Amino acid sequence: MATRAAVCVGGAVVGWLLRGVSPATTTAAYAVAYLAGSWDLARVVLLDLRQLRFNTEFLMLLVAVGAGAIGAWGEGVLLLVLFSSSKAMETYAAGRTRRAIDALLKGAPKTARKLDGEIETEVEVDSLAPGQTIRVTAGEQVPVDFEIVRGTSGCDESTLTGESEPVSKAAGDTALAGTINLWGVLEGRVLRVAGDSALQRIIRLIHDAQQQKAPTQRFTDRFGTRYTAGVIAACVAVFFFNWIVREAPPFVSVVGRVSSIYRAMTLLVVLSPCALVLSVPSAILSAIACGARRGVLFRGGAAVERLSDVNTVAMDKTGTLTEGALRVTGVEVLAGDEAQVLAAAGSLARLSNHPISKAIAREAVRRGVTFFDPGATETVPGQGIRARSPSGIVVLGNRDLLIGVVSSDQLTALPPSPEAVNETWIAGPGMLGRLLLQDRLRPEARALVEQLRTAGLQTVMLTGDRSGPAERMAREAGIDEVRSGLKPADKVAAVQQLKAAGRCVAMIGDGVNDAPVLAMADVGLAMGARGSDAALEQADVVLMNDRLELFVLARNLSLRARTIIRQNLVLSLGTMMVMAVTTLIVPGMPLWVGVAAHEGSTVVVVMNSLRLLFPPPAE
């Protein structure tokens, strides 16, 4: 498109320079300009006409043909020069998002080093299955998501998060597909197949985002067939009014009198809503591309627009406000022995991805307990895990999960819940105990909450944890309001209450239990590529690599996008209105003025939107 636009410009310049010297050369140059400038325009119009659709491109082609028909070749070429140039820039804006995806895929490995004991074989990446062991040497790109079991290194995760600093990796950490292992040798277990890796999920999110339209964009899409028909009707009315009432010549201008068809085509140009139609999608695509490069993935234009209206930010606690890296600080045995309690807790915990379960599983491995197959298991939302072993029911979770598993006397005799730490109960035949765990606040959490308060946003913690640990974390972070002991349905109800009170709510979460409330919030934000699949599916925005501070970046980008969209709408609508009125009241207004104003506003709108690709100097 850029090449054809350049040819159109070249033909126009040659024709204009030789217009009084060589008529034949001028005509040939204008013909080349017409052919190059109208190529993409005519192709789009023909495709739409087959489906009986009349859009703004149809109006532009009609004006270009009409200008040539009445001998106004210069004005027609000017229209095509500006139109083809603006469409090339629009395509460039959309291409920046596609190039962000290409950058993620560039150099993706096709093979991986698979380990069978000490034997290393090279296999296709697509053939790797969860549980297999792979090795990644220094300088190699990580082929799939895997959990490191041996080795230390640092990984360049800039392709996924925009973070330029290497991220330290050691046993127990997760290396993500698409990142670069910078120095040491890493070995680990494959977590998921290549098609479900963090990199592939990001690519799918970006592809989906490009297909979803923003509310304002859906509004401008209404300028379609009906608007085109209305504009053509208005131009026909102007033609007959000038011809019959003002007695202007119908088709050929004379000295001192502009023809009726000339004035009708001028009105046709200025009423074509090209700049208006481009106002929103060009800004939205630029915002999505900028966010993707900096670790913020918007799942569509609606998310870009809605985030700017948020005035209340609700957050999960574990894994969102806190590091989610809980550690077991104590094991209390009320029935059975400690080894039995730890073995049962570890066997159930390793079946869950919840941060508490991961901490218990790590502690069980550290103490060298022997795991067993607990039998059929089920997750009880907001409570824990229940397993049906041959010897009876075994549960791991909160106190509510103990009902029906232990006797009423044992329930009555349970010690009170500690205020400063989390408790998780394990119960089964001849066994009862609890594990005490603690978490730490994310280092950036307090600074983030302070930034939100400065921006006038209210913060709310929604957690299934008990009030004691929740209140303690809220005080450390500076959260305005705490709602604790919530099950998934309670979190949804809490967000509904906030929305009923007139609040525009953003919810930040990461787990399976957060999926319903992410869907209920005005804007749902999931934490990073390591977030659960359920949370990622429901989220409108993904904050990469568990970086909570990216919420501020996402909101600032949303605010900038909203400002630029409004500027574009004012500019495009204002230009249309001013030029339409001018065309009606100024009898001799040249067609080229209408063309320059119309296409000039389109160019300005696209260029204004492209500013979103680059962060402001303050960032």
347: enclosing H helix or E strand: helix 338-349
Are 402 and 411 contacting, i.e. CB atoms less than 8 angstroms apart?
yes
480 catalytically annotated? no
Structure tokens, 5: 């636009």
User: In the Cβ-directed half-sphere of 324, how many Cα atoms lie within 13 Å?
Assistant: 23
Are 558 and 307 contacting, i.e. CB atoms less than 8 angstroms apart?
yes
Q: 117 burial class (0-12, 13-18, 19+ CB within 10 angstroms)?
A: exposed
What is the rounded CA–CA span in Å between residue 618 and residue 249?
A: 59
Are 87 and 8 contacting, i.e. CB atoms less than 8 angstroms apart?
no
Q: What DSSP string runs through 373-411?
A: ---EEEEETTTEEEEEETTEEEEEESGGGGBTTB-HHHH
What is the rounded CA–CA span in Å between residue 378 and residue 400?
A: 15
580-589: Cβ within 8 A, 24+ apart: 580/267, 580/270, 580/271, 582/270, 583/263, 583/266, 583/267, 583/270, 584/238, 584/267, 587/246, 587/258, 587/263, 588/258, 589/263, 589/266
Which residue in 15, 72, 8 sits closest to 38, CA to CA? 8
Are 165 and 295 contacting, i.e. CB atoms less than 8 angstroms apart?
no
Phi and psi, residue 398, nearest 5°: -85, -175
3-state secondary structure of 52: coil
Beta-bridged to residue 422, according to DSSP, are 437
What is the rounded CA–CA span in Å between residue 493 and residue 487?
A: 10
Torsion of CA 601, 602, 607, 611, to 10 degrees: 90
What is the rounded CA–CA span in Å between residue 243 and residue 264?
A: 11
Q: What are the Cα distances from residue 415, in Å, to 403, 434, 469, 486?
A: 15, 10, 17, 22
Beta-bridged to residue 427, according to DSSP, are 395, 432
Task: Give the 3-state secondary structure of 193-223.
Answer: CHHHCHHHHHHHHHHHHHHCCCHHHHHHCCC
Beta-bridged to residue 190, according to DSSP, are 146
Q: What DSSP string runs through 104-126?
A: HHTT--SEEEEEETTEEEEEEGG
For the chain, how big is the Rg over CA atoms in Å?
A: 32
* Residue carrying the six token digits 């059975």: 336
Q: Which residues contact 203 (CB under 8 A, 6 or more apart)?
A: 101, 104, 105
**Which residue among the candidates 40, 156, 316, 510 is catalytic per the annotation?**
316
Beta-bridged to residue 2, according to DSSP, are none
Structure tokens, 52: 């009986």
Sheet holding 111-116, edge to edge: 119-124, 111-116, 133-136, 186-190, 146-150, 174-175
Q: Which residues contact 29 (CB under 8 A, 6 or more apart)?
A: 11, 12, 14, 15, 18
Instruction: Give the active site residues.
Output: 316
